[in-house]
Structure 1
């Protein structure tokens, strides 16, 4: 049986100290190979049936990672598109509770409706801020800007107590932190960060009864029989969450299938232990240098942000260390292909 380290070493050979998974992941070698194979199919004029099979394999893999039946998973392109479906389902005047400065894709479709009451509170107060009349709580599982983790169990209980629905964006945790999508009404995630996939795919988990979502973007891909739904109005929408699908970016799913297979081989628990150990090493090193990162509750986050140091990002990039400048923070994010040497190189490059 291959070890975690051997599996990772076989898939990744970065040319930089890459600590920026919260923006985009590195692609595994198997994913690059799958993308190349998919392109060759198209270039050679061969049937693309296997690429459509990749879409369904990815849907099934994501359902396993999310802990829900595959019938509850819709495949699309962006979290913003999925958020838009949820926003479209709400009646005029409905209250949507959000976290201040959450990622735009989780928020903006509710604001652009123009007739919803969108209320923003500090992340730490979001569970306590659910009240009678709150229709929906929408929040990221981890904040993109600084890695703070939402207390999702507390949020779930508060929402249930007040009859509010819940929508969680797992984009910054899916792949390193176990998902419990069944605990929430709706959830979504893109796949090009911690799930190691190419750009162009995102998944939406809906309730067993499909919720109140209007399939306003329904195309031929949303038909119960897609290939019989190509002309004229779709006669019969899919009986599953596939009715919320958008036409798939086939090359993306060909690569993503290989990426999700790797995540499942490694195991999310093992990835989490690896990522958090590196984040803890970085936090300890920051303390020794006299820097204080944005605090996160135990057991921690794979994203570490240091206020005031975001200005160093161009200089670090020029030296071969890739991090992000987010809201003035230097944001480092640690994933399965990173090592203790990567952490130490970043620490050596910081002032203090």
Structure 2
């Protein structure tokens, strides 16, 4: 897997520990993108004649990658756009459970639309906090990020299955943007009703693409009856009036969605199980070494399982020190966030540790 680093030019210049901010483009993806636009350049409108077939292929690839149904796979420019479309069609008398300090695209979107909200605290007892909040507040909907963007705390997905079994009427909506592409995952038996994801981070798809996965019946459940009745009485092409049409409005960009499909196939060739094992190893090593330096929060240290997003105690001075030495990270929340993907190595982490020792 180490040889795969050669496909990522950024890695020749920097120690890149910032996939949680943006995944990297790579040489063969660039080849695809250039060929795509060359075909558009010389074909004009003829190039668009096969758009529907092309986008159907993208939906199928996404569905196969995540163990979902093609007919229930929706293409969206990003997770936030998809979530806001969903929220528009949910009655505002529904109570929504959120995680405190979750990604603003979730929490602000819900609060700004006037939903009654309740919260579970993000700490070492996250799953227990969720259970307690559900028992106490009895929400109708639970919306959350699988992996927290600040701390990297990853929810135990087995708990989500238990929640669905215990509360089958609870609508469970998950943001997988910081999760999808890091582990083998089967949506069909996940207990999640709707999974959304932007493709520019761990899926390495570049910007402007994402998707929503729905369990069977969910699209119908969330579509206003008024819309369904109106569609029955119209003779428009189905691309304008079908259930997916509410999400896939206008022309979808084959450049962006084609990039996502290309990267999903690329990750499949590498092997998602191999990617999962590689980043688990990197994450464990990083956590262990940073813990020795007392640079991790207690809520992270106390958890047995964690993602490869870690927030180091530090400020802008530390962030700039690392940047000056070619180590790319992000300032997030209470510290300096690092994030590791399969193209990272133990040597990358050791470079970080060296500079942390020098800074101290």
1:250 paired to 2:258: no
Residue pair 1:178, 1:268 contacting (<8 A) in 2 also: yes
In structure 2, the residue matched to 1:117 is 116
1:315 paired to 2:321: yes
Correspondent of 1:138 among 143, 163, 167: 143
Q: CA RMSD in A?
A: 2.7
Deviation of 1:103 after TM superposition, in Å, equals 0.5
1:42-53 equivalences in 2 (<5 Å):
42-46=40-44, 47-49=46-48, 53=53
Q: In structure 1, what is the Cα distance between the partners aligned to 2:42 and 2:27?
A: 23
Correspondent of 1:23 among 12, 21, 24: 21
Residue pair 2:119, 2:133 contacting (<8 A) in 1 also: no
Unmatched runs of 5 consecutive residues or more in structure 2? none
Residue pair 1:51, 1:253 contacting (<8 A) in 2 also: no
Deviation of 1:51 after TM superposition, in Å, equals 5.7
Deviations along 1:111-144, one digit per CA (max 9) or x if unpaired, are: 1212x20112213112331137411000100000
Unmatched runs of 5 consecutive residues or more in structure 1? none
User: Aligned with 1:212: secondary structure?
Assistant: helix
In structure 1, the residue matched to 2:221 is 212
Deviations along 1:149-178, one digit per CA (max 9) or x if unpaired, are: 112322342344232110011110100122
Q: In structure 2, what is the Cα distance between the partners aligned to 1:266 and 1:215?
A: 42
Greater helix share, 1 or 2?
Answer: 2
User: Aligned with 1:166: secondary structure?
Assistant: strand
Give the TM-score taking structure 1 as reference length.
0.86
Moved more, 67-76 or 244-253: 244-253
Residue pair 2:20, 2:202 contacting (<8 A) in 1 also: yes
Q: In structure 2, what is the Cα distance between the partners aligned to 1:53 and 1:191?
A: 21
Correspondent of 1:274 among 278, 293, 313: 278
Correspondent of 1:298 among 272, 294, 304: 304
Could you list the runs of 4 or more consecutive aligned residues of structure 1 that deviate by over 6 angstroms after TM superposition? none
Give the TM-score taking structure 2 as reference length.
0.85
Rate the CA distance shift 1:349–1:312 in 2: closer, same or farther, 3 A.
same
In structure 2, the residue matched to 1:287 is 291
Deviation of 1:267 after TM superposition, in Å, equals 1.8
Deviations along 1:6-41, one digit per CA (max 9) or x if unpaired, are: 4x2452232211110001011121111111112222
Rate the CA distance shift 1:39–1:108 in 2: closer, same or farther, 3 A.
same
Q: In structure 1, what is the Cα distance between the partners aligned to 2:224 and 2:103?
A: 24
User: Aligned with 2:134: secondary structure?
Assistant: coil
User: Aligned with 2:260: secondary structure?
Assistant: helix
Aligned residues: 335
Moved more, 21-30 or 38-47: 38-47
1:94 paired to 2:89: no
User: Aligned with 1:336: secondary structure?
Assistant: coil
Residue pair 1:23, 1:193 contacting (<8 A) in 2 also: yes
Correspondent of 2:198 among 177, 190, 193: 190
Deviation of 1:262 after TM superposition, in Å, equals 1.0
Correspondent of 1:11 among 7, 14, 30: 7
Rate the CA distance shift 1:215–1:180 in 2: closer, same or farther, 3 A.
farther
User: Aligned with 1:98: secondary structure?
Assistant: strand
In structure 2, the residue matched to 1:104 is 104
Q: In structure 2, what is the Cα distance between the partners aligned to 1:249 and 1:325?
A: 32
